[in-house]
Every structure is written in C-alpha cells, then in structure tokens.
Chains A and B, each alone.
Chain A
Amino acid sequence: MRAYLLSRLAQTVLVVFLSLSAVFVMVRLSGDPVLLFMPMDIQAKDVNEFRERLGFNDPLPLQYARFVGGAARGDFGESLRYRRDALDLVLGRLPATLLLAATSWLLTMCVAVPLGVLSAVHRNTLLDHAGTVATVLGQATPGFWLGLMLIYVFSVKLRWLPTGGTGTPAHLVMPSIVLAAFFAARIARLTRSAVLDVLNEEYILTARAKGLGEARVIGKHTLRNSAIPIVTLAGLEAGQILGGAVITETIFAWPGLGRLTVQALLNRDFPIVIAAVFVISVTYTLINLAIDLLYAWLDPRVRLG
C-alpha cells in the first residue's frame, strides 16, 4: 500500500512537471510578453533593461532550467500585472473555487444519484421518462447560456438573487446550480444505467427470492454494487468541474481561480497562467488518486499496486 502510494505520488510529480514544461514551451513560442507591459512611448533601451531584469535575454535552456528550479521551490515569479508572487495570488483564489466546486458537486450528488436510482427502479414509468427528458436537456444546455438565462429571470425580472459577486449564501445559489447542471445530467444517466445493470444480476434475484424487502435490495445490494462506475465518473467530473468553474466564475464575477486564469490569459500574464496550471494539475491528479483509493474500499476485489 505504501509502495503504491509512493509510486502514484511520483507519477503525479511527473505529470505536473510535464504539463508545466509544455506550458513553458508554448508560452516561449508565442512571442514577447514584455512589450505588452510597456507604455507606448518607451525607449528601446528600457525595454531591453526590463527584459534583462526578467531574464528574457538569456538562452532558452538557461531560462528553462531557472524555471524548473523555481517551480520546484514553488516560485513561479511575479505576476506581470499585480507585481505580486504568482503562486500566492493563485492560492489566494483557490478557496473561493473550492467552495463553489464543492457546493455544486454536493448538489450534483444529492440530485443526480437519487434521480438515477428512482428512474432505474421505476423503469419506463412517467417518472423515468421525465428524468430522461431532464437529463438529455441538461446535457445539451451550455452552462454559460443557462447562467445568462437564470440571471435574467432571477436577478433582472424577479430581483431575488444578486447577478454576481460573492459574500452571502445567496451569491452561491446560481453559480452552483449552473456548474452542477451539466454534471448532474451525466451522473443521473450513468446512475440509471449502472443500477439497471446490477438489477439484472443473479444475486439481486437471490436477495429477492430469500424475501428481503425492496428497500434492503435496493439500499444495500444494488447501490453498493453500482457505485463503481458512478464513483469513476464522479471523480472524472470532479476534475472537469474545475474546467467548468472557469466559465461559471466569469459569468457570475466569482473571485476564483478560473476567473483569475481567464483574465491572466487575456492579459498575457504568464506567471499567473503557469502557477494556475500547476495548482489545477496537482488538484486534478490528487482527486484521481483519491478516487482510486476509494475503489479499493468499495470493491475488495480491486487490488492496488
């Protein structure tokens, strides 16, 4: 178990290292970020001095070595715009994103899993069909459009909720619904098919034959056995929620990591972009590790290592 954990952590380090290198190469290929941060009437020698100070004049391998060395110490340089440590800025925005992601993940699980189970158990009833329509629509509706429409109805027309920003629980309502909608639809669909698969197994027939009540059959025998695909998808989605957060945070002016990343990309503030890539890929791989550990707990047949 310890060896397994160590090798997985080593893989995480490798993945993070490779993603950072890829971003470094792409950024260096894309042109000169220095010029964007200069006043229009600047002298050529000042540009050069600025470039010298930031190390853009050194040979590329040296720049790369310095970049890797800095990254290993958690130093991604200063934000070109805010003149503050890039990683600090990114980490400062992380709690807001995690709050949003956790709320919508919880919302997804509380709505989607029961909906999927109910649809499967009451297959081909009105409830099942209504659930299918809801999930198909949910999967097709882009989050940013849903967000705009919710703002129009609940902020512009009804004036119940704030259009954006943060501070009170009311600010959290629309962003977390928007972020949850797409994933909830996928999870509900998968839950339905996973539960249907298990309901066809012989051990369910046995459980019913020995006279167990329907609540025990579903609650104990079915749910635990259909959990594996659901957990897999929930884990993968947990990572994609970080991607969805980029859009949701921008619509609702939520001061999180995603919005910071979008702004940094628009401003070509690459130290922040690189620090954000670092934080996102670390979070993502750690979530996947947690999921794999959860498999072993859910299904004792799974051997880690």
Chain B
Amino acid sequence: MIHLKAWLGIGLTAAVVAAAVAAPWLSPHDPLATDFVASLRPPGAPGHPLGTDQLGRDLLARVLHGARLALLIGVCTVVITAVGGGALGLVAGFVERWPAAVLMRLADVQLSFPFILLAMTINAIVGLGLRNIILSLSAAGWVVYARVVRGEVLSVKQRDFVQAAAALGMSRVRLLLRHVLPNVAPSVIVVASLQFSSFIVAEAAISFLGFGVQPPTPAWGSMLSESRDFLYVAWWLAAFPGAALTLTALGVNLLGDWLRDTLDPKLRV
C-alpha cells in the first residue's frame, strides 16, 4: 500500500510536469486565441479533444498552460517561503535573543488567522496579478517553516556533536552552516513538499474568488470562476480544470507523504 501510494504520487507528479513542459506540443492551439464560430464545443469536437470555452478557446491548451502557471506559482512560493522562513527559523532558534522572541510571537499572531483569508487579504491590498499572488502566498506561508525549523534547531543545538564542535572553538556561523543546517534540512524538504499542493490550491481558490491571476491568463482558478456562468450548458469548462488541479494536488500530496515517511516520520505539520 505504501509503495503503491508512493509510485502513484511520483507518476502523477511526473505526468503533470511533463504535460506542463510539453504543453505546446500536446495541443497546437494558442490558449488565448479566440474563435467565436467554434465557441462552447463539447469534448471530442474535431481538433478540440476537451472542447472549447465561451470564446472558442481550446480547453486542452488552456488546461495545459494552466499546469505551467500552477507549477510556476507553486515552485516560486515554496522556494521563497522555505528559504525565507527557514532562514528566520534557523536564526531564531540559534540566537535566542529578544528579536527572535518577537519574531516568533509575530508568527503566532499570523497563525491566529486562517491562511487562505490572510493570503487573500494581502493580495487584495498589494494588488492582483501573478507576481503579487506569489508574494501574498509567501507572506502568508513562511510561518510554518520558521516554526518547524526553530523547533528543530533548538533540539539539534543540544546534541553532543554540536556541543563538542562548539567546545572545540568552531565559529558560530560555521557551526550553524556545517552542523545545524544539514540536520534541519530534511524537515524543510518535507514541509516544502507538503506545502506545495496547499499553495497551488490556495492560489486557485484566490483566483477563483476574483483576486490573484486575472483572466484571460489561463489559470485553473480563474477558469473555474468563469465556468460558473456556463454550468448549465458546458459542464466541461468546470470539470477539466478542476480535475487537473485535483490530480496535481493528489500527486504532490502522495509524494509529500512518502517523503515524510522516509525522511522524517515523526514530523507533524
């Protein structure tokens, strides 16, 4: 069962990445090219395997380019939050002076607010668009890394080999980079893999609500938002982008579970 889930996760994730990379070859259509004569064609229509939308844009092309966008947002956000939040947590756990305490209190305050609402509010205030949605998700998401890494650092610091290295006169910076960092890295990788799908889904949800990535850019969230007006006549506009999002989240979740079981079984996020 464990292996089945791991392989399913790896397979699904690889398939999504491959589809995103190969988007222009899998569907020859431009995801933004409209064709009013061919609007709202059902799946299986000639030249349009998944049908077309209200403006006659090819749905397959839009779903595939949506995968590019989702992966781009997911990767950028995870890298920013892992590096930023991880560095803050590393320093907060290592230094233990008052700025660290203030920072962790700030993290507590931020956690007292639902993640999606926080990211959405920040996005509404700083402005919409691709770059700002990445920034908003990062601003809302760094806390988890800071907390996990700080906790790990506090415990690694007490271990004998770190104490011994300190007693031998190793400089603090070197100690941090050489002995502490490698020991907290697995947790960061696990948290990052578990966060990846929640960032992608959160981005879709925020774009769905009318913030984030704006039409006509083919983001799954805004495609689903537009599909609501056509639910009575064109089910495929809602079904395929959502299915793509679900499969991506499923694949990455399974991969994350597997990474956690192998790298850091005790970690709870």
A residues lining the B interface (CB < 8 Å)? 15, 18-19, 22-23, 26-27, 29-30, 124, 129, 132, 136-137, 139-145, 148-149, 151-152, 156, 239-240, 242-244, 246-247, 250-251, 258, 261-262, 265-266, 268, 273, 277, 280-281, 284-285, 288
Contact = CB atoms under 8 A, between A and B. Distances in A.
B5 A136 contact: yes
A140 B197 contact: yes
Contacts of A250: 209
22 contacts: A18-B109, A30-B125, A30-B127, A136-B5, A136-B254, A139-B249, A140-B250, A143-B205, A145-B224, A145-B238, A145-B242, A148-B228, A156-B232, A239-B112, A240-B114, A240-B115, A244-B114, A244-B116, A246-B209, A265-B121, A265-B124, A285-B112
B239 interface: yes
Can you list the 8 inter-chain pairs with the closest CB atoms, starting with the nearest?
Answer: A243-B114, A145-B242, A140-B250, A265-B124, A140-B249, A30-B125, A243-B116, A148-B238
Nearest to A240: B114
B67 interface: no
B223 to A, nearest CB: 11
B210 interface: yes
Interface in B225-240: 227-228, 231-232, 235, 238-239
Nearest to A157: B235
B117 A273 contact: no
Interface string B190-210: 000000010001001100111
A142 B238 contact: no
Query: Binding site of B, secondary structure by majority: helix, strand, loop or mixed?
Result: helix
B108 to A, nearest CB: 7
A288 B109 CA distance: 13
Given A140-B250, A266-B124, A281 B113 contact: yes
B255 to A, nearest CB: 12
A266 B210 contact: yes
Query: Binding site of A, secondary structure by majority: helix, strand, loop or mixed?
Result: helix
Interface string B1-27: 100010000000000000000000000
Interface residues of B, number: 43
A247 B116 contact: yes
B238 A261 contact: no
B231 A152 contact: yes
Interface in B102-120: 106, 108-109, 112-117, 120
B239 A140 contact: no
Given A30-B126, A262-B209, A265-B211, A277 B121 contact: yes
Contacts of A15: 108-109, 112
Contacts of A266: 124, 210-211
B113 A284 contact: yes
Nearest to A142: B201
Contacts of B253: 136, 139-140
A192 B126 CA distance: 42
A71 to B, nearest CB: 16
Contact of B249 (A142, A148, A251, A284): A142
B246 interface: yes
A301 B57 CA distance: 63
